[in-house]
Structure 1
Amino acid sequence: MSRSVLVTGGNRGIGLAIALSFAEGGDKVAVTSRSGEVPAELAAYGAIAVKCDITDAGQVDAAFTEIEEKHGPVEVLVANAGITKDTLLLRMSEDDFTSVLDTNLTGAFRVVKRASAKMLRARKGRVVLISSVVGLLGSPGQANYAASKSGLVGFARSLARELGSRNITINVVAPGFVDTDMTAVLSDERRKEIVAGVPLGRYAQPAEVAAAVRFLASDEAAYITGAVVPVDGGLGMGH
């Protein structure tokens, strides 16, 4: 059956690949972004886009209300929206730190809380949080980003215990370096340095991350919750 799926930050990069994967599988897909524009690739599947800044609880509630009216209560939530403000600790401002956590971690809290109310009533649901290998390994100049992505793991595992009795699974996907617009701006030298540390010797494709998310949202993964699934070419193994 076609499910109501929401992907936050689903207008580009990894989020767009995830949204497309669900749409191609026949689900009713909605994405949120700050622009509220639906990418042409998604529009072809009848997907909708809702303007939403996940740092604003009021906008989150309004976005869910609109999606529920058009697609029904969200049955699969992928919390993907995130930002970076990279700089070394001594140069990092309070806003650099708190704004990244407010979007990446507290933003996930806002959307999961809003979705879980209806999932609890339905006694079923799938939640997948998009973390990062950086949240497990750490990265110089990314203390704010790593803290936010690491925090998602504790958040997910607590909710897995809290909501599991209602048939709601909460899992985390931790991508490594993925070939997107965000990584395309890196110099060739930096890209070579990164790939040198990846056992598989290459960047991930967005569709490979999407495949892991789709699996965790499937019936086949009904007995998996509180898991952290790396899609990182082996970069973070051991963590």
Structure 2
Amino acid sequence: MNTFTEQKAVVTGATRGIGRAITEALLAQGATVIGLYNGNTRAAEELITNCPCPERLQLHRIDVSDYQAVECFFRQVEEEFDTIDILVNNAGIRRDAALAMMRKEDWNQVIDVNLTGGYNMTKFAIQLMMKQKYGRIIFITSPMGHLGFAGQANYSASKAGQVGMMKSLSKEVAKRKITVNCISPGFIGTDFLDGLSDAQVKAYKKMVPARRFGTPEEVADAVLFLAGKNAAYINGSVLEVTGGL
């Protein structure tokens, strides 16, 4: 496993589910993590309280879809750390509805957070990474970006957009020794799946050849791999963590 001592990582959606597992995995490997969250202060407080190395963890409440707030955040990061080594674009939301019945607000909000938020974070992260000619950028996308689910047109569009952005960006920054990749988790046992009925859970598990949902820790392990120095020749790729979905 790679070690990340003295590396600085920014993780969005850092306090719950997959994001929390990523944060904890990076901390366990020696990184300093600057985590972003937007709404759940209780989850943020719990993460800090239970963190075995709070001196290497910072949490900031920021809406990643707010361009000016993100720009201000990265100014603060630059002042304190000068540069960063890793960005994990994990923040994401769902607002499911059939497209014909979908509210305009629900379309816009999902695109703004999942896709535009990734643009905002990545734009300013690259500027810091270019100073040292090194970086690892990882988008947490979804198989729904190419499979699609009824009722998830907005979510699927945002996730497909993340892959397209990653593909283009990976070609722009490769010469600076910055890699850009996606990790595509399938059904992962987090509160992101809250609201599913028992029948839906059973049906979805049958779709997965592994016949189970994944764990946040399994996604975090994939992040550690792509974020490490040994993954220098992996660029512009989508790593699926789906149990064979």
Same fold (TM over 0.5): yes
Offset of residue 103 of structure 1: 0.6
Superposed CA RMSD in Å reads: 1.4
Find out whether 1:224 has 2:224 as its counterpart: no
Counterpart in the other structure of 1:45: 53
Secondary structure (helix, strand or coil) at the match of 1:82 reads coil
Separation in 2, partners of 1:70, 1:118 = 12
Q: CA deviation at 1:118?
A: 1.1
**CA displacement at 1:42 relative to structure 2:** 6.1
Preserved CA contact (<8 Å) 2:10 2:33 = yes
**Aligned residue for 2:21?**
17
- 1:7 partner letter: V
Secondary structure of 2:240's counterpart equals strand
Q: Matched residues in 1 for 2:244 and 2:37: separation?
A: 31
**Inter-partner Cα distance in structure 2 for 1:19 and 1:88:** 34
Q: Does the CA-based 8 Å contact 1:23-1:42 persist in structure 2?
A: no
Q: How many Å apart are 1:43 and its aligned residue?
A: 3.5
Would you say the 8 A contact 2:83–2:131 is kept in 1? no
Alignment partner of 2:158 out of 148, 155, 172? 148
Q: Report deviation, 1:66.
A: 2.9
Of residues 137, 160, 172 in structure 2, which corresponds to 1:162? Answer: 172
Check conservation: 1:132, 1:175, Cα contact below 8 A.
yes
Rounded Cα–Cα distance in structure 2 between residues aligned with 1:186 and 1:21: 28
Identity over aligned pairs, percent: 39
Structure 2: segments with no counterpart, 5+ residues: none
CA deviations 1:69-119 (Å, max 9, x no partner) are 444422100000011100001111222112111110010000000100011
Name the residue aligned to 1:107: 117
2:30 aligns with 26
CA offset digits 1:130-181 (Å, max 9, x no partner): 0011112111000000000011111001011000000000000000000011
CA distance in 2, matches of 1:102, 1:42: 31
